[in-house]
Amino acid sequence: MTVQAKTRPSPAHEAQKFFFELGMVQRTKVGARLAELGLSFSQAHALRILDPDEPMPMSALAERLFCDASNVTGIADRLEVRGLVRRQSLEGDRRVKALTITPSGMKLREQVMELMSQPPDAIAALSEADQRALRDILARAAAHLRPAD
Amino acid sequence: MTVQAKTRPSPAHEAQKFFFELGMVQRTKVGARLAELGLSFSQAHALRILDPDEPMPMSALAERLFCDASNVTGIADRLEVRGLVRRQSLEGDRRVKALTITPSGMKLREQVMELMSQPPDAIAALSEADQRALRDILARAAAHLRPAD
DNA sequence: GTAGTTATTTGACAACCTCAAGCATTTGGG
DNA sequence: CCCAAATGCTTGAGGTTGTCAAATAACTAC
């Protein structure tokens, strides 16, 4: 139990506190708006990830959702029942089922994109300069994301 | 279907994309670490919110968790079964039950705090200058949070 | 063609979450 | 004082998310 090691929290540590708080609030708000559309957060996120032009295998979706493949079955089921998505066996490999967005799914997807790409009020309220700086810094951080795979 | 209206996304809109992505990745990572401690995300978050020195009424916790009071019953149950938390009827008003963290709950809480206050790798990898700027900007944003209530 | 791999599904189980209803306690008006 | 309304928590029903292990179907390689 040395006394050191907590000598100085890095600025990143301090930033994390705000980052987390903003994230929680935003998630709650967005969740409420999504509920009005009859969508859960996961369903909306899935809809967002799906490429309107390219059918996506369920396993690929599972990877993007950071969850088990068996979980995607249920999510796809519920989206499919509502006619937002269709399962389509891949020609060439009939094991894999790719998901396609239906026209009505596309309409809902638009709204979801609009909704979820909206920044938290607290961030929208920042000055232009702050917003730009924030965007640039987060862009640099996100760039660190891919190589880290 | 006019063409305008999407003329120029604000920097905040662009920032949101990275913000969301970083948040998702972090949530997944933290979730995995928490699972090793036998805690769900909600349980950990609750443990974090509870004040070690001051018993907190369950309704207050519900508010901080942005969820229904009936939901807190279950979360508190599971924490209490593991001896991390105790229900304590408030003297003066026996309706309200306040949650206290037990010593063993405190030990776990320390680890949770440590774990969840750790910034995403992508942010920790930023330059000192970027980290500082990020912290300051997010602090300004978070300040906008409280008055907005 | 047979054995092993791969993609999805199913079933069992647990947590989270909401809503409506119920219970105990407290508060306020007659 | 007493009863009605309000408050804080719990319970029960019902739905979504999530995991794991086992089952199924289809592909691949020897």
Residue B71 CA and nucleotide C12 C1' are separated, in Å, by 23
CATH 1.10.10.10 residue ranges of chain A are: 32-118
CATH dotted code for B32-118: 1.10.10.10
Residue A124 to residue A121: CA distance in whole angstroms: 5
B149 close contact with A: CB closer than 8 A:
no
Q: State the Cα–Cα distance between residues B34 and B124, nearest whole angstrom.
A: 20
Q: How far is B22 from chain A (nearest CA, A)?
A: 7
**Pairwise CA distance, residues B35 & B43, whole Å:** 11
Nearest protein residue by Cα to C1' of nucleotide C10: A70
pLDDT tens by residue, B31-65: 999 999 999 999 999 999 999 999 999 999 999 99
B51 touches A at CB < 8 Å: no
Average pLDDT over residues A78-84: 98
Inform me whether the pLDDT recorded for A148 exceeds 80: no
* pLDDT tens figures, B75-116: 999 999 999 999 999 999 999 999 999 999 999 999 999 999
What pLDDT score does B149 carry? 40
Confidence at B145, pLDDT banded by 50, 70, 90: confident
Tell if the CB–CB gap between A66 and B118 is shorter than 8 Å. no
For residue A10, what pLDDT band results from cuts at 50, 70 and 90?
confident
Q: pLDDT tens digits for B120-132?
A: 999 999 999 999 9
Smallest CA–C1' separation from B68, nucleotide: C18
Distance B95 CA to C22 C1' (A): 15
Question: B85-90 and B93-101 as β-strands: parallel, antiparallel, unpaired?
Answer: antiparallel
Distance from C-alpha of A111 to C-alpha of A44, rounded to nearest angstrom: 10
Given this model, what pLDDT does residue B83 score?
A: 97
